[in-house]
Structure 1
Amino acid sequence: MWFKHLIFYRFTQPFTLTADELEEKLTAKCFKPCGSQDISTYGWVPPLGRHGDMLTHSAGDFIIITARKEEKILPASVIRDALDEKIETIEQEQNRKVASKEKKLLKDDILMTLLPRAFTRHQTISAYIDRQEGWLIVDASSHNKAEELTSCLRDSIGSLPVINPPVKNAPSHFMTQWLSPKAVLPVPFALGDECELREPGDEGGQIKASKQELTAEEITGHLDAGKQVSKLALSWDDALTFVLGDDLVIRKLKFTEVIQDQLDAINAETAAEQFDADFSVMTLTLRKLLTDLINALGGEIDEASRGEYIEKKILEVSKKQQTAEETAQETA
Structure 2
Amino acid sequence: MFRNAQIYRLPKAWGISAEQLAQYLAPQTFTPADNMDMQSQGWIPPRESSNGLVHPVNRQFLLRLQTEKKILPSSVINQVTRERATELEEQQGFPPGRKQTKELKEQVTDELLPRAFTRITSMWVWIDPVNGWLVADTSTPARAEEALKLLFKAVPKFPLETLRTVMSPAAAMTDWLASDEAPNGFTVDQDTELRSTAESRATVRYVRHTLEADQLRQHIETGKQCTRLALTWADKISFTLTDALAVKKIALLDVLKEDAGAVGKNDDERFDGNFALFAGEMGHLLAALVGALGGMLNESEAA
- Normalising by structure 2, report the TM-score: 0.95
Residue equivalent to 1:90: 88
Query: Any gaps of 5 or more consecutive residues in structure 2?
Result: none
Output the CA distance in 1 between the equivalents of 2:199 and 2:270. Answer: 46
- In the alignment, what sits opposite 1:301? 297
State the shift of 1:16 in Å. 2.1
Residue 274 of structure 2 aligns with an amino acid whose one-letter code is: D
Partner residue of 1:234? 231
1:71-94 per-residue CA deviation (whole Å, 9 max, x = no partner) reads 000011101101111111111221
Q: Which residue pairs with 1:36 in the alignment?
A: 35
Task: Give me the whole-angstrom Cα distance separating, in 2, the residues matched to 1:12 and 1:18.
Answer: 14
Contact 1:179/1:215 (<8 A) preserved: no
Change in CA separation of 1:114 and 1:159 when aligned onto 2, cut-off 3 Å: farther
Distance in 1 (alpha carbons) for counterparts of 2:145 and 2:81? 33
CA gap 1:10/1:37 in 2 versus in 1, 3 angstroms: same
What is the CA deviation profile of residues 142-194 of structure 1, one whole-angstrom value per residue up to 9, with x for unaligned ones? 001000011112222234221221211211001001112x4321121000110
CA distance in 2 between partners of 1:42 and 1:261 (Å): 36
TM superposition shift of 1:302: 3.9
Give the alignment of 1:105-254 within 5 angstroms.
105-180=103-178, 182-201=179-198, 203-254=200-251
Q: Do the aligned partners of 2:180 and 2:213 also contact (CA within 8 Å) in 1?
A: no
Please tell me the residue identity of whatever aligns with 1:289.
L
Q: 1:190–1:13: structure 2 CA closer, same or farther, 3 Å change rule?
A: closer
Q: Which amino acid aligns with 1:164?
A: T
Offset from partner CA, 1:237-268 (integer Å, 9 cap, x none):
010111100000101110011112222443x1
Distance 2:103 2:194 in 1: 48
| Count of residues in Structure 1 that have an aligned counterpart in Structure 2 | 302
Task: Indicate yes or no: 2:66 matched with 1:68.
Answer: yes
**Structure 2 match to 1:284:** 280
1:214 offset after TM fit, Å?
A: 1.8
Inter-partner Cα distance in structure 2 for 1:258 and 1:14: 30
1:12 Cα deviation after fit: 5.1
Q: Which residue of 1 aligns with 2:9?
A: 10
- Specify the SS of the correspondent of 1:42: strand
SS in structure 1 of the partner of residue 138 of structure 2: coil
Question: 1:297, 1:162 → 2: CA distance?
Answer: 20
Deviations 1:207-258 (A, max 9, x none): 2210111234443321221100000000000101111000001011100111
For residues 33 and 151 of structure 2, what CA distance do their matches in structure 1 show?
20
Pick closer, same or farther for the CA change 1:87–1:260 going to 2, 3 Å. same
The amino acid that maps onto 2:87 is T
Q: For residues 165 and 123 of structure 1, do their structure 2 counterparts lie closer, same or farther at Cα, with a shift above 3 Å needed?
A: same
After superposing on structure 2, the runs of 4+ consecutive aligned residues of structure 1 that deviate more than 6 Å are: none
Per the alignment, residue 273 of structure 1 pairs with 269
Q: Structure 2 counterpart of 1:132, which letter? A: V
**Alignment match, 1:262:** 259
Check the 8 A contact 1:64/1:128 in 2, yes or no.
Answer: yes
The more displaced of 243-252 and 152-161 is 152-161
> Is the helix fraction higher in 1 or 2?
1
Percent identity, please: 30
Output the TM-score relative to the length of structure 1.
Answer: 0.87
Q: What is the aligned-residue RMSD (CA, Å)?
A: 1.7
In the aligned structure 1, how far is the partner of 2:220 from the partner of 2:209? 15
CA distance in 2, matches of 1:201, 1:33: 48
8 Å contact from structure 2 (residues 13, 131) kept in 1: no
Task: Flag the 1:231–1:303 CA change in 2: closer, same or farther, 3 A.
Answer: closer
- Distance across 1 between alignment mates of 2:259 and 2:7: 25
Letter in 1 for 2:297: I
Provide structure 1 residue ranges, at least 5 long, that are not aligned to the other structure: 308-332
Structure 1 residue 112: Cα displacement: 0.6
